[in-house]
Structure 1
Amino acid sequence: MTKIVVLVKEVPDAAVQKQVDSSTGRLDRSGEKTLNPFDTHAIEAALQLKESGALEVDEVVAITVGPSTAVKALHKAVSLGADRSIHLTDDGLVGSDVVGTGYALAELIKRENPGLVLAGQQSDDGQSYAVGAAVAEYLGWPGLTQVIKLDVDGQTITAERQAEYGYDTVKVTLPAVISVGDAINEPRYPSLKAIMGAKKKPLESLSLGDAGIDASKVGEAGRKAVWTGSQQPPAKAAGELIEDEDTAATVEKIVTWLDDRKLI
């Protein structure tokens, strides 16, 4: 039997305007938060593998690293179908970069000893696309990104991944870490019963000490990226508005505008 671990994250809600706290160099997370939408595709991929019998999966475990509020993201992951969840939360994690986060997640994964780790292709806040790769590096497992199709044959997965020039078809042998793209599936909606029962499913909360994680490798102490500052992008000039009072004249203006810029 194979265990699947799904990496999830709490992120600011899509309706919240995202901005960086200039005093810390970290994202302001004071607003409403939710489960990273890209991670719902990873959860769905795990459930489809389990339900189809393509892999003999005994359980799907959601794991997150984050503050106390991240429990809500885990409840959402469980309501979508994960069997249980693990929450690493510790003040020593504050300020972790991608490398530190990847290390911490890898240590949690080692405790679970899964056959497959799935993640969303990116987070809706940091947009680094790199956490899955960092986890794979720490585990010493093959890692794939931007995967939009999975076919399983025993302990071998044939994955189709999206690339700038088209598509790659790659084979990996389990265990592996795979970051899936949002084109891989259409996540299901949780039922009311699943939402109500999510808080009753097992949730393990761990500190750095509980998980045996080296505090010097995470948080501010372990970060490799250094914040130097930020600035707003330059304001764009206002566009030209063409009123359609006379259709023929309007079309002529548009054609002239495009022709002047050698767009036609």
Structure 2
Amino acid sequence: MNIVVCVNHVPDTETKVKVGPDGKSIDKAGVNYMLSPYDESAVEECLRLKEKNGGQVTAISLGGDANKETLRKVYAMGVDKAILLKDEAPRDSYGVAKALADVIKELSPDVVFFGKQSIDYDDAQVGGLVAEMLGLPSVSVVVKLEIDNGNVRAQREIEGGHETVETRLPAVFTAQKGLNEPRYPSLRGIMQAKSKAIEERVPEPVPPQVEVVAMRKPTAKGAGRIVGTDASAVTELVRLLHEEAKVI
């Protein structure tokens, strides 16, 4: 089975992100980066498919040299090949998808996996765009996946429940947390990953069709207020909701 997984290099969730001096990007000084958590689930599912069916897993990442850190992590987890699409220019979701789709088409995979979204911009668009560009069926937000002789049965998360869908390979999937429990890289895997080759390519430039014109942190919310703990507080609570919050 020929498998491709696309991974993103994103700010660590523990990092305090600041808006950059230009007012429309983040200040990267002092920011730690990590493999996007949804992508981690995607990598794990690809490795399990390889272990069950044989074949090869190729990881692809779009970005600068810093993305090699993430590619080395997925090498340590067990992927077989890593490709860096080297481009630090800003790209919208379409531009990212076009760069990835061009390479994926060349690889002719049976399975393509993404995380359901990256945790930096949360667009959740690239997986579906790539599927459309490749003319492949797409199943998003997958929480359970069964593949047998090219037949696919997938359970995907929807609001208030789960939906079961069927399709055939080749296909594109996006992973939700809970699809699996990602493995920890072994010490041996980490050491071997340091010396493995990362293929570098330069993707075709794509002028952005969407431009970020401003970025700002959310307005800080005021602290809550306790008006009482017994029935006598009801009158005061109603007054506050009417006069201050203006919701009744």
* TM-score clears 0.5: yes
Distance change (3 Å), C-alpha of 1:95 and 1:258: farther
Residues 61, 225 of structure 1: alpha-carbon distance in 2 compared, 3 angstrom cutoff: same
> In structure 2, what is the equivalent of residue 169 of structure 1?
164
How far the C-alpha of 1:115 sits from its partner, in A, is 0.7
Separation (CA, whole Å) in 2 of partners of 1:72 and 1:232 = 28
Secondary structure (helix, strand or coil) at the match of 1:205 reads strand
Alpha-carbon distance between aligned partners in 1 of 2:140 and 2:236, rounded to the nearest angstrom: 39
CA deviation after TM superposition for structure 1 residue 253, in Å:
6.6
- 2:135 & 2:8 partners in 1: Cα distance? 22
Instruction: Map 1:215-254 onto structure 2 (within 5 A).
Output: 215=205, 217=206, 222-241=207-226, 251-252=229-230
User: Aligned with 2:230: secondary structure?
Assistant: helix
Q: Distance in 2 between matches of 1:118 and 1:159?
A: 13
SS at match of 1:200: coil
**Per-residue deviation, residues 215-238 of structure 1 (Å, max 9, x unmatched):** 2x2xxxx21112232444343232
1:83 — aligned with what? 80
Instruction: Decide which structure has greater helix share.
Output: 1
Mean Cα deviation higher: 75-84 or 15-24:
15-24
* Separation in 2, partners of 1:40, 1:162: 18
Residue 20 of structure 2 is matched in structure 1 by: 21
Q: Report the counterpart of residue 132 of structure 2 in structure 1.
A: 137
What are the Cα deviations for residues 137-156 of structure 1, in whole angstroms up to 9, with x where unaligned?
11111111101000112111
Taking the aligned partners of 1:81 and 1:34, their CA distance within structure 2 comes to: 17
Q: What is the rounded CA distance, in whole Å, between the counterparts of 2:233 and 2:127 in structure 1? A: 48
- Which of 60, 67, 70 is the matching residue for 1:70? 67
Identical columns (%): 35
How far is 1:200 from its partner? 2.4
Equivalent residues, number:
239
Who is 2:33 aligned against?
33
Aligned to 1:195: 190
Q: List alignment gaps of at least 5 residues for structure 1.
A: 243-249
Superposition CA RMSD, Å: 2.3
Q: Is the 8 A contact 1:83 1:201 kept in 2?
A: no
Residue 154 of structure 2 aligns to a residue whose secondary structure is strand
Distance, in Å, in 2 between the alignment partners of 1:254 and 1:62 is: 62
Name whichever of 227-236 and 97-106 sits farther off.
Answer: 227-236
Q: Residues 231 and 74 (structure 1 numbering): CA distance in 2 closer, same or farther, change over 3 Å?
A: closer
